Structures are given as C-alpha cells and as structure tokens.
Structure 1
Amino acid sequence: MPHYDLAIIGGGLAGASTAYYACKQGASVLLLERRDLNLGASGSNAGSIHAQIPFDPFRNLGAEWARRYAATLPLFQASIRKWGALEDELQGRIGLSVKGGLMVAASDTDCAALRDKVEIERHAGLEVDLWDKDMLARNAPFLADGMSLGAFCPIEGKADPFTVAPLYARRAVEMGLVLRRNAEVTAIKHNSDGFLLQTSQGDVTAHRVVNAAGSDAARVSAMLGIRVDIEAHAIQVAVTEKRPPTLPYLLYFTGEKLTLKQALEGGFLIGGGWPARLKGHPVVDHRSMIRNLSIAQDVVPALHGIDIVRSWAAMVNGTADWRPILGEVPDAPGFFLNLFPWMGFTAAPAVSEAIAALALGQTPEIDLQAFAL
C-alpha cells in the first residue's frame, strides 16, 4: 500500500499550494482531488486580492466583530507579499496586478461606518487612506457623482484564478508530488502509520493529513468524527466584453454587495458574493445578476450599454464569523485544516506555506494558533 509523509485532500488553490510548499521541503506528498484541479471556488472566483475588512459583515455584525476579524489582516498582508514574488517563484504568468483597492461610500451613514472600519484596520497595521470627494474626483474619475468618501488600500489588486492553482500543482509534480484526479476520499481511519485513507482509486496511508477540501471540508472531517462548522454557498460572477483601460483598482461599494475590477485584457469582472441557485450544481440566478449589474452601472457609469460575454456560478466555503479554521485539530493529532472562507484566494500563499510547515513538524513563519478549531 502506498505510504506518504503527507496526504492533502482537495485540489483547489489551498491544496495545490500546500502540496507545493511541502514538496519544496522534500516531503513525499499525495494530493487527492475528487474531480479535477481548480474546479471549485479557487478557479471560479473573481480573482480579487483582498486586504480590507469586508463591509457587508461589518454592517451586519458590528465593530466588535471587526476587531476580532482583524486578526486575519496580518495573514492577508503576509500572503500579498508572497503574491508579489509568485510569478518568479512558479515561473509562469498569473495575471497579477496590484494597483490598490478602493471602497467607496455615498450615504452619510455608510461614510461614518467606513471611517470606523478604517480605524480598526489601521489599528491592526493595515495601510488605508481616506479619500474625500475632491480626491475621488482626481484619483477615480470613473465613479458616478454622489460618492462622498473612499478608503484606498494600496496593496490590494487582482490575479487570474484560472492559472494559479494549476501552476502550483505543476511545479509540485516536478518536485515529486503524486497527483490523483477523480480520487474521492470515502473514509479516513487512524492506523499505526498515522492514517489510512480509502479512496475511489484504492487505499493509501499517510503519516499526516491536510483537509483543504473547501466547501466539502465538513464531510471530509466528519470521517474522523470531527465537526467543522463550515458552510457552502453558491455565488456567481459575470465578465463583460473588452473595453479600453478605465478602472485600475479593485473597487468595492458600501451601499450593496459589489466587487468590480478590469482584467488586463480589458474585460470587467463583476461580483461581490451575490447568491446563485442550486440545481444539483450551482447555476447563475438571473435575479442576482440583474441586481449586481445594476449596482455596478450605478457606481461606474461607463458600464452602461456594455455586453456581458460570460457568467458562471460556483460553490465557496464560509463560516458564520468569517474567520478561517487553520492548523492541527486538537482531538486528532496529525490531522490539519486549511479552510479560509471567502478570502481564501488571497490568503493561500502564506497560509498554505504555514500549514505545510506545521504538518511537517516545523515552526511556520506566521502564527496560526488563533485560528485553530
């Protein structure tokens, strides 16, 4: 029976990057994916590189929630530093552009809340500048009239979600990773070597296991009797036809859910976490799409009359408090979780390197103890 130092469950960005960093340390690593690489949230999100505290939960859950959530901001900052060197490290293009993120507010209530949120972010060590109406007019002339305040974070940006995880996996395979596609894990049991994993492609053993299965992570953990309160959400994204460069930033709006960015080739990516429908698999909900597009046009008038060329829906994972669940499970030594809700695309490089280090008995560069199950 094949035996590995580390078995990783999940072929998205979290799993592929954890595999890469573990292989880089010389470990024997098996990556198990029940379908194919990058088919879940990692390859279906809008490619945003986030650092600011999201406004929607801040509005709904309040300042105390935000202060607790702010513990994640150093993880984003550490990861964004790694994003900057990732094309050189992985020897490939990933569509990276870091020109900053701008969160804009129109109403007096939202402006006051945005100022409060910025204070919490600054206290956590995140660089955020406040732009008044005049600065918005100078630095963001694409905005509609009526935007009164902006919060600009210079380290935010975007990358190509279709390329990053496969590139991590390709480099890991070159270092010895054993990659099994269409290999669903059906059972996990403790044994004398660590763990026995039963899969649709046969049994294997591993000294340690990382659960990076995203929205399927609760089912995987339950095989060892571990309860993980992770939720699965169906959301959607739309892409427009190509237009001349207009929007340099990752753009958010406090009024309703919106993320908006312009890809390097010219198309606008419009998202923000609007719900899709489930029909056995996630499908685009036209009601969400119409509302999302309407808000985007209200915020950036240049989008009026532009054609949508593609839209899609995908499952993402979430937690009730938006915080990640990371590290070794206290009641299951040798079993690790790499679960980062909503913002996992941003956090993957630094967090996965830390998870790989922990799983190999090393001390990581960043401390994940605050996010243990």
Structure 2
Amino acid sequence: MTAREPTRSGAPPLRRVHEVDTIRGFALAGILLANIGFFADPRLLATVGMGTTGPVDFAVQTLILSKFYVIFSFLFGYSFTLQTRSAESVGAGVTARTLRRCLGLLVIGLLHGLLLWPGEILTLYAALGLVLLALRRVRPRTAVITAIVLLVVVCACYALLALLVTCSPTPVTVMAAPSAEEGARVLAAFTGGPLDVLGVNLSQYLHTAPMVWFAQGPGALAMFLLGLAAGKSRLFERPGDWAHRAPAVQWIGFTVGLPTAVLYSVLIDHSGVAMLAATALNTLTSPLLAAAYVVTLLRLARRFPSVPAALTPAGRAAASNYLGQSVLACLVFSGYGLGLAGRIPPLGVVAIAVAMYAVLLALSAWWLREHRYGPVEHLLRRLTEGRRHR
C-alpha cells in the first residue's frame, strides 16, 4: 500500500505511507463535525462550545470533540519524520526546510483565522513544529516518556484547579456564557455582510487563539512527540510488528475511553469543580479512544479496500481540505454566503457536514488524478523546498 517517490541520492527510494493518508482523511471528517457547530452558531466560541443541549450535541461532544485533534496532532509528528527522511534523502537541510514550512503554516493559519475560522489550529502547529524540530533527535522511548509526562502534568493542573475551586468560599464559574444581547449581536453580525463577518472573526480570533493555545497546546505537543516516536519506529510501515496487539488497543480504548467520554459530556454542562475534574480525566483518556478509532479504521481498511480508496485522496490533500471545510462552512452559515447561522437544528448541521465531507472527498479524488499534491500542499512544498513542483 505504498508508492515510490524519487530521490536524488544513492539512498533507497522513499515510499509514501498511504496508511497515514487514510487516517488523515478519516480525521478530517471528525475535524469537520467538531468545528461546524461553531459556524452554525458562532456564539459558542465565547465558551469554546462547552455544554450540550440535545442528543446530537451530546453525541458530538462524546465521540468527536477532543478526539480527532488528538489524531491530527499525532499525524503531524509522524509526518515530520517522513519529511525529515525526505530531506535527508536528497541532501537538503532539515532545519531550513522545517523553518520555511512552519513560516508557511503560520501565514496560512493567520489568514485562515482572520478571514474564515477563529478557532484555527495551524498557527499553534507552526509554533509547536519548531519545538519538534529542536527535539527531533530524541529516541522514541524518550519521546514517549516525555509525552506521557506532559499529559499527566496537564491532568494534574486541571485536578489542582478543581481542588482550589472546592476551597473557594463563593461559587466559581470557570467559563460564563455571553449575555443574550451580546450573543444576538454576534449572530447578527456573522450573518450580515462580508465586512461584518470580518469584524466578528477578528474580535473572536483575538480571544479564541489564546484559549486554543492554552487548552490544546500541551496536549498537541504530547501527541506530536508520540507521532515522532511512531514515525521513527515506522509504526505504520511495519503493521506486522503490532497487528497482534490491535484487539488490545481497541478493547482498552473503547472500554476506558468511551465511558469516560460520556462522563465528560455529562459533567461539562456544570461550572467549576465538575467541569475541571472532567477535563482532567478527558486529557488522559481521549488519546486511548483516539487510538482505538485509528486501529479500527486500519483493520477495516485492510478488509475493505474501498475505505482507503475513498479516504486517501483527502488525506493526501489534508491542508487543502481543512481550509476547504472552512470555506464551505462560511458559504453556508456566514454572511459570505447564505447566512444560515442560528437557523439550522443540530441534526441538520450534521447532515450538512456529511454533505460537505462527501463533496471534499470527491474534489480531492478529482484533483489528484491530474496533480501530485493538493493546491495548498503545492504552495507549502514550494515554499519548503524552494523549487517548483509539478
């Protein structure tokens, strides 16, 4: 399931790891389901979407939120090892190429956040990519231990905050919802004209970006390191080495991760100690559930070739699809297009997400019939390598 890529040295030809592309394509579906609710109701960004109002929201909160960004972050670390190998195979400088790539991600992320989606993640990935560059020579075992320590420290910090809240003599609200007047103003502007949408995005980006960095930064770095360790160990290139452990990963991931995810969704509706305790627990168990998702996907992909055939093109053009999701969501929900925010019920929002995902899968397959890379990937590679790609 791998394809050769040319090299300009005497090193063995590198191979594209299509399993990584398949997982990326799958992760894009989760990212879309996680983000589209914020487009459908931009008022949720003020509270980072905390709380559930019905069975659909509960299902998304339980099964999707905080699970798929874990997968995406893991794949970033894995892909870093592939890019490093590619650079070394042609005698190029890893540091210079990584710096240019991170700069490209930073610029794209800023434009994405200001114009389309204030909750964008690319600027964080650009910054953490520099950390990964500095740590690229660590051994896989050291990377895994460091990642686990990071996750435990984050969990301990949330648990400590929960303990401090219990000691407060007055009730503590960790994250307050906006007033009805402020929410109405945001919704009206988001569904107004294009300049109104830009104004909303700018104001929300200024307060959302720090929250994203604080809430997701340490966890994302931990997953980067786990991906780095997996890439150095060629995890997806040697499936025979771990296939016998796949059922155990699924059993642990689903039996521990799913009940914890349900508990998290129940407790997230509360302010103060309950929410902080739930977040602490979710920090440790989300990677387990995400791992179960990935292993299940790979086992299905081996059994049903149509699964990777459908998902791999989107995974090969993941950055283009990530941005394409925001473009389509804005055209449907914001004043850039139809302005339907606040009018579609949750089940309808999920249906729209499914339709968007199907469109993007089809567009990815069509584009890659004639091109080696997606349009955004082409720009990033040209910037990274400093030469023109076909």
Bigger share in helix = 2
Structure possessing the higher relative contact order (Cα contacts under 8 Å, 6 or more residues apart): 2
Relative to the length of structure 2, the TM-score reads 0.25
Bigger share in strand = 1
